[in-house]
Structure 1
Amino acid sequence: MTAPGPPGTRNGSGPAAPAPWTEGLELTGEQRAAQAGFADFAARVVAPYADRWDREERLPGEVVRALADSGHLGAVVPADQGGSGLDAVTFGLLNEALGHACSSVRSLLTVHSMVARAVLRWGSRALRDRWLPALARGTAVGAFALTEPEAGSDVAGLRATAEETSGGYRLTGGKRWITCGQFADVFLVFARCPGGPAAFLVERDTPGCTVEPVTGMLGTRAAMTGHVDLDGCEVPAEALVGRVGFGLNAVAADALETGRYSVAWGSAGLGRACVEAAARHAATRRQFDRPLAQHQLVQRLLTEMAVGTGAARLMCLRAGRLLGSRDPQAVEAVWAAKYAAARSAFRAAADAVQVHGAHGCGPDSPVQRLLRDAKVMEIIEGTTEIQQTVIAQSVVRELAGPAKGPVPSENRGAHDDAR
């Protein structure tokens, strides 16, 4: 697949590289080179087709293959396991580039990386040897299956069960809003055992595992969301990821941090796409004998969009650096980055539609797609409200000592694993 515009442009109509007002991120030479490569890939392989994929509600196999061939699906897998082994900041830049072009494609990278991360950190040697090379090469696509009808933000409501058998485990339960569920080859499934929550790798073709396609999603429509049902689905003992009892506080929490960080950078990229679209329209659209860009209220919208998106990128960069140095503050930084980036992306998308007026409301308008996708960013990987609770508690602990009261479960929201 090739784009109609020259390399380095977004569908031939705008820059794929960061705009001047977002430069100055103090990246290394290798990170800048990687950033340019990611922008070129997104501009050629993803951006020209994003609107069509959104309308068709599907990602073609070619783009999945292109992500695999470029090494992007192996971003979090070490080189000695066949992956790209990207550092945290570079992984973020990849998500930004894909989020700028198409949030559905970035969603694929997010959930696939979450599964790869879980296998890498918590899987047995046999599990790592079997699955990491396949996940890195893209011969197997992973999906994250945590959310249930009664367990969204509150994972304490997890009802799927895993019954131990003579040869392994028998899983029963339903998972909802599973990103890439319609075509994933393996699911990271969370269920309750008598000894506590546990995580399992479940292959798609395992008897008892069925997938129901979900269509008409508000946003990220091309991510091919599905509901996964497990009806006495038997898996071998080797499918256990980590230990029984480690499922939520260890495996899920660690994977969700990867997902939250991915969505944060993807939201920053989405916000940048909104700013670019609004600026181009404001510069060319004339009202009352002058371009929209010369109207003061439109200038206010453009200013808020640009500054908010630029600030979100800086927070994402800080989170990436803290993750890279394994700083204890990295967890809070990732939460803050996702919160800021998702909120600024939605505001930028809403303002971009406002700048476009009726043109932005049409079924073929790219900014309409951006608005729908941006709303999803405020729900997945921790709803805005859950994040406000967690971040506020972190602030209080740091500045005023522990606060009394229950701490909400670590999860991502009602739309949960449409990611």
Structure 2
Amino acid sequence: MNLELTVTQQALKEEFSHFVEAELQPYANDYDKQGAIPMALIQKLGAQGYLGATIPTHYGGRGMDQLSYGLLNEEIGKACSSTRSLITVHSSLTAETLLRCGSKAQKEKWLPLLATGNKLAAFGLSEPTAGSDTTSIKTSYLETEDGYLLNGVKKWITFAQIADLLVIIATGEQGITAFLVERNTPGLTIQPIDGILGTRASMLGEIHLKDCLVPAENILGKKGWGLPQVVNTALDNGRYSVACGSLGIARACLEDSIHYAKNRVQFGQLLKDHQLIKQKITNMVTEVKAATLLCRNAGYLRDKKDPNSIIQTSIAKYYASRIANTIAGDAVQLHGALGCHDSMSVQRYFRDAKVMEIIEGTTEIQQILIADHSIASLSSIL
């Protein structure tokens, strides 16, 4: 299997890198402190086609393959995990899921708007008492003559503060079902959530639904198939985005650590010449290389629409998010007291990396999925 980038993919990687260096990297620490990313940046992401990266061109997207999309998440993740989280929730969780599960009318209405960033989307699954246990959601729907009444609370919803379209997962007599809910729906209110450990600019919100009337044509996918059809599709898409974003965090920490080690003098010699620093850098390089191969492999299989891409995406997310934490911790340690100050990006990477082990399926959930799959069919994984 050849995982070398094509000429087109390499050109896209360079494009992404130039955009990040000019428009994102210099300002990411400020966004973290402010707790928000500016609309001007979101508009630039839309103009570049990054909010519609994988949406087909006939809907106004850029029609990127999955491996290229992974590179986009990696490059943006290197600079700002909050901005990458917008790509994840808007594109991976919502737009790609809508592309797969939506009706023709839903796709024709929403995908052109999402592709350009004229409308922003968020995915409402988590609740105050329901996280990894998706079957225990309490948000409810009740069928009426005019449509469906939604009631409940969604929490920790990324970019809910500014989203125009919300996918709401609710339970009712016909089983768990997904609904497309517009922001201006009567009875829907959104409260900002502050104080998060990492991805502080991801504009989290708590969504309250009180007798929100949603028309029947806003059901996403089949009624009662909200978990196996919509949620599982969305989480698989999101895990790939987060895996590649985690790889970006790890790479950024490695690059910052090497730069610092080449310039910082301690005990009469540069840090790079100390044996224990060489050990840290060696471990970082090896882990980044391994995570790169896992992410590229997942992207390659996703492009082939190989059924094994789902478990390989879980493996990539599991490994990349874990090594992002390890490498970020080592990067802070290598930088010493300076690494703990908010003038340095490594402290932000350290906080952001922890979030990567929680979102789109925790490390423990990935362990269950990977172990169960391995016990059933080890050869299909290896």
Match for 2:149: what amino acid? R
Shift of 1:305: 1.0
Is the contact between residue 168 and residue 179 of structure 2 (CA under 8 Å) also seen in structure 1?
Answer: yes
2:291 counterpart of 1:312: yes
User: Which structure 2 residues correspond to residues 288-299 of structure 1 after superposition, within 5 A?
Assistant: 288-299=267-278
- What is the match of residue 156 of structure 1? 135
Is the contact between residue 83 and residue 202 of structure 2 (CA under 8 Å) also seen in structure 1?
Answer: yes
- What is the match of residue 345 of structure 1? 324
Match for 1:308: what amino acid? E
- What is the match of residue 7 of structure 1? none
User: Which structure 2 residues correspond to residues 250-289 of structure 1 after superposition, within 5 A?
Assistant: 250-289=229-268
Out of 58, 71, 79, the residue aligned to residue 93 of structure 1 is 71
Q: Deviations over 1:213-245 (max 9, x none)?
A: 011110000011111111111111111101111
Q: Deviations over 1:12-61 (max 9, x none)?
A: xxxxxxxxxxxx95011111111110111111111110000000001100
The CA distance in 2 between the partners of 1:106 and 1:58, in whole Å, is 13
Out of 67, 70, 75, the residue aligned to residue 48 of structure 2 is 70
Match for 1:130: what amino acid? K
- Would the alpha carbon gap of residues 197 and 33 (structure 1) be closer, same or farther in structure 2, given more than 3 Å must change? same
The CA distance in 1 between the partners of 2:369 and 2:236, in whole Å, is 13
Match for 2:9: what amino acid? Q
The CA distance in 1 between the partners of 2:325 and 2:378, in whole Å, is 30
Is the contact between residue 187 and residue 212 of structure 2 (CA under 8 Å) also seen in structure 1?
Answer: yes
The CA distance in 1 between the partners of 2:142 and 2:367, in whole Å, is 36
The CA distance in 2 between the partners of 1:127 and 1:121, in whole Å, is 11
Is the contact between residue 118 and residue 255 of structure 1 (CA under 8 Å) also seen in structure 2?
Answer: yes
- What is the match of residue 246 of structure 1? 225
Shift of 1:315: 0.3
Match for 2:7: what amino acid? G
Match for 1:236: what amino acid? P
Q: Give the number of aligned pairs.
A: 378
- What is the match of residue 191 of structure 2? 212
Task: Give the 3-state SS of the residue equivalent to 1:172 in structure 2.
Answer: strand
- Would the alpha carbon gap of residues 399 and 311 (structure 1) be closer, same or farther in structure 2, given more than 3 Å must change? closer
- What is the match of residue 165 of structure 1? 144
Identity between Structure 1 and Structure 2 (%): 47
Task: Give the 3-state SS of the residue equivalent to 2:342 in structure 1.
Answer: coil
Output the aligned Cα RMSD.
1.2
Match for 1:394: what amino acid? H
- What is the match of residue 139 of structure 1? 118
Shift of 1:363: 2.5
- What is the match of residue 12 of structure 2? 34
Task: Give the 3-state SS of the residue equivalent to 1:351 in structure 2.
Answer: helix
- What is the match of residue 58 of structure 2? 80
Is the contact between residue 319 and residue 330 of structure 1 (CA under 8 Å) also seen in structure 2?
Answer: yes
Q: Deviations over 1:335-370 (max 9, x none)?
A: 000011001111110000000000001122211000
TM-score normalised by structure 2 residue count = 0.97
- What is the match of residue 110 of structure 1? 88
The CA distance in 2 between the partners of 1:174 and 1:43, in whole Å, is 38
Match for 1:354: what amino acid? Q
TM-score normalised by structure 1 residue count = 0.89
The CA distance in 2 between the partners of 1:286 and 1:179, in whole Å, is 42
Q: Deviations over 1:61-91 (max 9, x none)?
A: 0110000000000112111111111101001
The CA distance in 2 between the partners of 1:345 and 1:118, in whole Å, is 27
The CA distance in 2 between the partners of 1:363 and 1:326, in whole Å, is 42
- What is the match of residue 13 of structure 1? none
Match for 1:323: what amino acid? R
Out of 206, 209, 214, the residue aligned to residue 227 of structure 1 is 206
- Would the alpha carbon gap of residues 355 and 156 (structure 1) be closer, same or farther in structure 2, given more than 3 Å must change? same
Shift of 1:193: 2.1
Gaps spanning 5+ residues in structure 2: where? none
- What is the match of residue 45 of structure 1? 23
Shift of 1:126: 1.2
Out of 370, 373, 376, the residue aligned to residue 352 of structure 2 is 373
Match for 1:58: what amino acid? A
Task: Give the 3-state SS of the residue equivalent to 1:221 in structure 2.
Answer: coil
Gaps spanning 5+ residues in structure 1: where? 1-23, 402-419
Match for 2:15: what amino acid? G
Match for 2:57: what amino acid? A
- What is the match of residue 16 of structure 1? none
Match for 1:384: what amino acid? T
User: Which structure 2 residues correspond to residues 321-332 of structure 1 after superposition, within 5 A?
Assistant: 321-332=300-311
Match for 1:237: what amino acid? A
Shift of 1:400: 9.3
Task: Give the 3-state SS of the residue equivalent to 1:162 in structure 2.
Answer: strand
Structure with greater proportional helix content: 2
